[in-house]
Amino acid sequence: MSVRVGIPRALLYYYYFPLWKEFLEQLGAEVVVSAPTTKGILTRGVEQCVDEACLPIKLAFGHVQNLADKGVDVIFLPRMVSVAQREYICPKFLGFPDMVRQNIKNLPVVMDTSFNLRKKQSDVTDFVQRVGAYFGKGIFKSRLAFGVALRKQKQYQDLLEQGLFPEEAMAILEGKEPKSKNINTDLTIAVIGHPYNIYDPFISMNLLNRLNKMGVKVLTADHLTEQKIEQGAAKLPKKLFWTLSKKITGGALHFHEKSTVDGIIHVAAFACGPDSMTGELIERFIRREGRMPFLNINLDEHTGEAGIITRVEAFLDMVRWRRAVG
């Protein structure tokens, strides 16, 4: 019987799920994903996590608990240190497996193999071999499995760059028909933020779909190629060594410079150190130029939906008015 491996629908799920799923399945595992976020999942996460943590980490606790409730044999929580040379991921990712072990009782096995490409890309081999060995596979079969998974991940990234959102791209990879949106839009807005904040419909209060329904075409930094992100980030006087912050800032500055959008909405999580810095950087840069409407939204577990909708509606009215008066 296959080992049932759980992957939380949280944190880097929206970036790496196709890669992890394919890799684990090629190794013979059965992959189980936690349920879509609900109030109940968030509440359990908030109860079990330390108060000082950011909203996405609290939510990820709830998803880990959901996987434990589903009776999986293993919870896959790779210790994400770095996904690019000379760059880092937020330290909360690094400590997440330990936080979970300390705070949630009666968990199944937590697989926390380190993923660290800071020195060189080829260091991924160590991760591949360790995970493969857990499933009884040797070096050759493990590398083969990861090679197949990398090709799946490339297809996924190509679909994102074509303008799809993660759930749509994942559905296509599963062989499902893409839903036709048929939206009449008169505005294009960039929504900039961490994937776990903007793509989780519960946490973002369904922001992307709401915008679509309000006549807005939405673009995110994930629709841009790496080259465009780098060009945007190069406008800063110093290199950002946090990969996700670089993507957010580079994306925002690219959209601003090329004027391919009518406005930018930055979505940040309360208690997020990197977000407070990137939000400030982007806002200062845009306000200095003074030519693009900008809205900053902060999310926490107490954020009221009505307040966010009112602010977004007022922002869109202002963008439309600005455009009308030229």
Stretch that binds ligand SF4, among 118-126, 206-214, 220-228, 269-277 (CB under 6 A): 269-277
> Could you give the maximum distance between any two Cα atoms of the chain, in Å?
66
Going through the chain in order, the beta strands assigned E by DSSP cover 4-7, 30-33, 74-76, 79-82, 109-111, 114-116, 187-193, 216-219, 263-269, 294-299
Among 19, 32, 74, 90, the residue binding ligand SF4 under the rule CB under 6 A is 90
CB of 90 to ligand SF4, least distance (A): 3
Per-residue x/- mask for ligand SF4, residues 274 to 293, rule CB under 6 A? xx------------------
Residue closer to ligand SF4 (CB basis): 118 or 322 = 118
- Amino acid at position 256, single letter: H
Cα-Cα-Cα-Cα dihedral sign, residues 10, 269, 204, 241 = negative
Among 58, 92, 137, 256, the residue binding ligand SF4 under the rule CB under 6 A is 92
Residue closer to ligand SF4 (CB basis): 22 or 275 = 275
Residue closer to ligand SF4 (CB basis): 75 or 268 = 268
Stretch that binds ligand SF4, among 49-57, 259-267, 278-286, 311-319 (CB under 6 A): 49-57
Residue 45 binds ligand SF4 (CB under 6 A)? no
Which two tokens mark 229?
A: 């992100």
Which two tokens mark 165?
A: 């959102």
Give buried/exposed letters for 198-234 (b at 16+ CB in 10 A, else e).
bbbeebbbebbebbbebebbbbbbbbbeeebbebbbe
Task: State CA 4 to chain mean position distance.
Answer: 24
Chain residues 185-244 in contact with ligand SF4, contact rule CB under 6 A: 194
Interface residues with ligand SF4 (CB under 6 A) are 54, 56-57, 90, 92, 194, 269, 272-275
